[in-house]
Amino acid sequence: MIRLALLALSILGIPSAHAETAGALNRKCRDLLTCAIKKNCVQIDWLSEKFENATITAQLYNDLDQGIDYGCVFTTGCFDECNRCPLCVNSKNQLVDVLSGSKRDDGVFRAG
């Protein structure tokens, strides 16, 4: 069970142990992790099977991507929780940048 929790933490980009900022991030992001699991935004069992004794390959990254419902995490399932977690907001902004073909500088979009 601890292994699954660590997997979920790493999937959502939540640090498991670092000095001062880890505690603050963990507090802000704890609700996101809980929501993502409760709303099945992250397929923990499926990902756990894929990661069991796995070698890091492109396919493993594809599996990780497939096991996370980003729409659920960013909007429909855990919108408020994501917006309270700086790591999730950053990930969401990066995705918007990729999809729009623009780069975000201080919250301002510029064609790239």
**pLDDT tens digits, residue range 55-79?**
989 998 899 889 999 999 998 899 9
pLDDT at 109 over 50: no
Q: Taking the model in full, what pTM does it have?
A: 0.64
Q: Quick one: pLDDT at residue 46?
A: 92
Q: Quick one: pLDDT at residue 12?
A: 55
Task: For 8-33, write each residue's pLDDT tens digit.
Answer: 555 555 544 444 467 777 888 999 98
pLDDT, average across residues 25-51: 90
Q: Quick one: pLDDT at residue 32?
A: 92
pLDDT at 39 over 50: yes
CA–CA separation, 29 and 19 (whole Å): 16
